[in-house]
Structure 1
Amino acid sequence: MFKKLIIQTDERGLLFRKGSYEKLLQPGTYRFSPFSEDTVAVLNITKPFVVQGKDLQLFLHDEKLVQELDVIQVLDHEYVLHYEDGKFAALLSAGRYAFWNVLKKHAYIRVDTRNPELPAEVDTAVLPKLTGYYQVLEVANYESGVLFYNNVMQQELKPGKYYFWKGPVTVSVKTVDLRQQQMDLTGQEMMTEDKVTLRLNFVYQYKIMNPLRALEIKSFEDQMYIQLQLILREYIGTLKLDDLLKMKQEIASFVLSRLNEKSQDYGVHFISAGVKDIILPGDIKDILNTVLLAEKKAQANIITRREETASTRSLLNTAKLMDENQTLYRLKELEFLEKICEKIGTISLTGGGNLLEQLNSLLGGEKHG
């Protein structure tokens, strides 16, 4: 009795004779003798062409079979994105693959991982299905990025998110902060022209204008720090201590001007600068405090003498007016009398004499109640 085999429309059969592939069987009914050594592998054509235990190369000599297959060869440095009927199906790494082209329409995007950037035709919507095959590098909106392949600079990157294949090329991005930044120089010991050693706190603000230039400089911030030290030492060494204490603003202007002479070398623009503190040695501080105290005392003495002179001059002017004007003299008498009345209850005047003289004598005496 014959063995019957039915191959459905969405299937194909692979006939093997004595273990070797013979030919492709189309959909239909087939009968085989019970004594036959023929075997048939039935494959679903909606799935990839895979025969367990057999290499794909064994079947590629069959032209009829090959016509119904898409055969894809992926090299070691490649990835192939496989789409079925417009939908992403899988990422194919190095190897050989075959897909039935009968019921489904296949499309492929071949990428060379030696050029790591994901091509524009790869929709980022499929990236969650590619985990492990790519990396994401970001440049913030206040930064500029510089792209490196195997530590070789490629290009400058604007703010954004960038995707790169993981492969034979090492990809890295170095970022440069473009916001206004500040550098502080604190507690720097310097010597003035008159050999006074002091400590200086200085600050300046800057912005990086040429990120590529900034990245070319090793230890960028350290070099700018040393440059500031040298400029300050050069300038402070030309000033005496008294001049230095009076010229804080001039120091800042000079340093800012000298720094901007170097702006092209560092790829930055220096915005502002200023002296925060000048810290003097204890003995110098005591001397300056003594000098300041003496100056203030001298100023106070001058003011006191000036006030005394003005008071004496005022009394002299009043006396002259009283000598020349009897009415004013009588008013002065009444003023004295008013003062006396504020202090005592009754007044007894005896004898003759000038009223003003008697009242004057009463002001120095005891109260009478």
Structure 2
Amino acid sequence: MFKKVTIQNDERGLLFRKGSYYKSLQPGTYRLSPFSDDHVEILNVMHRFHVEGKDLPLFIHDDILIQELDIIQVQDHEYVLHYEDGKLVELLTTGSYAFWNVLKKHTYLRVDIRQPELPNEIDLAILPKISSYYQTFDVANHECGVLFYNHVMQKELAPGRYYFWRGPIGVSVKTIDLRQQQMDMTGQEMMTEDKVTLRLNFVCQYRIMNPLRALEIKSFEDQMYIGLQLVLREYVGTLKLDDLLKMKQEISSYVLTRLNEKSVDYGVQFLSAGVKDIILPGDIKDILNTVLLAEKKAQANLITRREETASTRSLLNTAKLMDENQTLFRLKELEFLEKICEKIGTISFNGGGNLLEQLNSFVGERNMSKN
């Protein structure tokens, strides 16, 4: 009795005779002799062409079969994106693949991963399906990126997101912050011309203008810090302490000018600089405080002497006016009498004479009695 084999429209048969592939079979019904060792392997054309235990080269001599297959060879330096009816199905790595082309339309996008950047024709919408095969780098809006292949610089990158294949080329992106930045020097010990050791807090603002130049400098920020330190030491060492305390603004202008002389070397623009604090040793502080106190006392004494001189001059002028004007003299008598009456209840005068003279005599007698 014959062995009956039925192949559906979405299937193809592979006839093996004595264990070796013989030919392909189209949809239909086939009867095989029970006395033969023929065997039919039925494959669904909706799936990839694959026969367990058999390599693809065993079938490529069949011209009829090959017409219904897409044979894809993927080299070591390639990825192939496989689409069915316009939709991504899979990413193919190194190897040989065959797909039935009878019921679905298969298309393929071949990419050379020796060129790591993903080509523009790849739709970003498919990337989540192949996430293990690429890597991303982000350059923020305030940054500039620099692209390296195997540690060799390639180009600058504008702000955005970039996609690169994971492959034989090592990809890295270094980002440079283009915003205004600040460099702080705190507690830096320096010596003035008169051998006073002090600590200086200094601040400097800058912006990177040439990212490539900045990347060429090893320990970029450390070298700028040392440059600032040397400029400050050079300038502070030429000033005495008193001059230094008076010339804080001049120090800032000098340092900013000197730093901008080297701005091209660093690839930056120095925007501003300034002294935040000058911290003196304790004994120097005590000396300055003593000097300051003495200066203030001297100023107070000078003001007191000026006031006394002005008061004496005023009295002299008043005396001259009273001597020349009897009415003014009488008014002064009354003013004098009013002041005395504020402190004494009753006053009696005997005899004649000048009222002012009697009042003066009275005040003189009271003062003597107190003594």
> Normalization by structure 1: what TM-score?
0.94
1:51, distance to aligned residue in structure 2 (A): 1.0
Cα separation, 2, equivalents of 1:232 and 1:83: 66
| Residue 220 in structure 1 maps to residue 217 in structure 2 | no
Alignment of structure 1 residues 35-74 onto 2, 5 Å? 35-74=35-74
CA distance in 2, matches of 1:342, 1:125: 103
The answer for unaligned runs of 5 or more in structure 1 is: none
1:332 is matched with which residue? 332
Distance 1:185 1:33 in 2: 95
Which residue type is aligned with residue 219 of structure 1? S
What's the counterpart of residue 101 of structure 1?
101
* Structure-2 change in CA distance of 1:363 and 1:163 (3 Å): farther
CA distance in 2, matches of 1:351, 1:276: 80
The answer to whether residue 260 in structure 2 is matched with residue 260 in structure 1 is: yes
Measured against aligned partners, the alpha-carbon deviations of 1:14-44 in whole angstroms (never above 9, x if no partner) come to 1111111111111112122222221111111
Measure, in 2, the Cα distance between the counterparts of 1:317 and 1:229: 65
Structure-2 separation of matches of 1:308 and 1:271: 54
Question: Does the residue aligned with 2:342 lie in a helix, a strand or coil?
Answer: helix
Shift of 1:345: 4.1
- The answer for the alignment partner of 2:283 in structure 1 is 283
Residues 293-317 of structure 1: CA deviation (Å, up to 9, x unaligned):
2222221111110000001111111
Name the CA distance, whole Å, in 2 between partners of 1:42 and 1:82: 24
Q: What displacement does 1:244 show?
A: 1.7
- Give the match's secondary structure for 2:239: coil
1:118/1:165 contact within 8 Å kept: yes
SS at match of 1:242: helix
CA apart distance, 1:363: 5.9
RMSD over aligned Cα, in angstroms?
1.7
Alpha-carbon offset, residue 318 of structure 1: 0.9
- Report deviation, 1:165: 1.0
Distance 1:220 1:252 in 2: 22
Cα shift at 1:246: 1.4
Q: Deviations over 1:264-317 (max 9, x none)?
A: 000000000111222223333333222222222221111110000001111111
1:243 maps to what in 2?
A: 243
Q: Structure 1 residues 271-280 or 282-291, which shifts more?
A: 282-291
Question: What does the per-residue CA deviation read over 1:158-204, in whole Å, with 9 as the maximum and x for residues that have no partner?
Answer: 11111111111111111111111111122222222233322222111
Separation (CA, whole Å) in 2 of partners of 1:303 and 1:185: 43
Q: Report the equivalent of 1:342.
A: 342
Query: What secondary structure, in the 3-state scheme, does the structure 1 residue paired with 2:132 have?
Result: coil
1:98 maps to amino acid = A
Per the alignment, do residues 108 and 362 of structure 1 end up closer, same or farther by CA in structure 2, a change over 3 Å counting? farther
Q: Secondary structure at the match of 1:319?
A: helix
Match of residue 125 from structure 1: 125
Taking a change above 3 Å as real, the CA distance of residues 363 and 35 of structure 1, as seen in their structure-2 partners, is farther
- Structure 2: how far apart are the matches of 1:176 and 1:359? 93
Match in the other structure for 2:309? 309
Taking only the aligned residue pairs, the percentage that are identical comes to 80
* Distance in 2 of aligned mates of 1:25 and 1:362: 153
Q: Tell me how far apart the structure 2 counterparts of residues 363 and 153 of structure 1 sit (CA, whole Å).
A: 103
Letter in 1 for 2:70: D
Please say which of residues 118-127 and 308-317 is displaced more in the overlay: 118-127
Quote the residue 2:171 is aligned against. Answer: 171
- Report the 3-state secondary structure (helix = DSSP H, G, I; strand = E; otherwise coil) of the residue aligned with 2:141: coil
Counterpart residue identity of residue 297, structure 1: K
In 1, distance between residues paired with 2:111 and 2:357? 122
Deviations 1:121-158 (A, max 9, x none): 11111111112111111111111111111111111111
Q: Aligned with 1:343: secondary structure? A: coil
Which stretch shows the higher mean deviation, 292-301 or 152-161?
292-301
**Which residue matches 1:147?**
147
The alignment's TM-score, normalised by the length of structure 2, stands at 0.94
Q: Deviations over 1:80-127 (max 9, x none)?
A: 111100101001111111111111111111111111111111111111
The residue type equivalent to 1:283 in the other structure is: D
1:32 aligned partner: 32
CA distance in 2, matches of 1:251, 1:169: 51
Aligned counterparts of 1:194 and 1:340: Cα–Cα separation in 2: 63
Q: Structure 2: 5+ residue runs without aligned partners?
A: none
2: CA distance, partners of 1:360 / 1:27: 149
8 Å Cα contact 1:336/1:360 also seen in 2 = no
Work out the CA distance in 2 between the residues paired with 1:29 and 1:133.
Answer: 44
Aligned-residue offset at 1:360: 4.3
Q: Distance in 2 between matches of 1:37 and 1:280?
A: 105
Residue number in structure 1 paired with 2:192? 192
Inter-partner Cα distance in structure 1 for 2:325 and 2:229: 77
Alpha-carbon separation, structure 2, partners of 1:55 and 1:362: 143
Paired AA for residue 205 in structure 1: Q
- After the TM superposition, list the runs of 4 or more consecutive aligned residues in structure 1 that deviate by more than 4 angstroms: 360-366
Aligned length: 366
Cα offsets for 1:327-360 (capped at 9, x unmatched): 1122222222333343344443333222233344
C-alpha separation in 1, matches of 2:350 and 2:67: 153
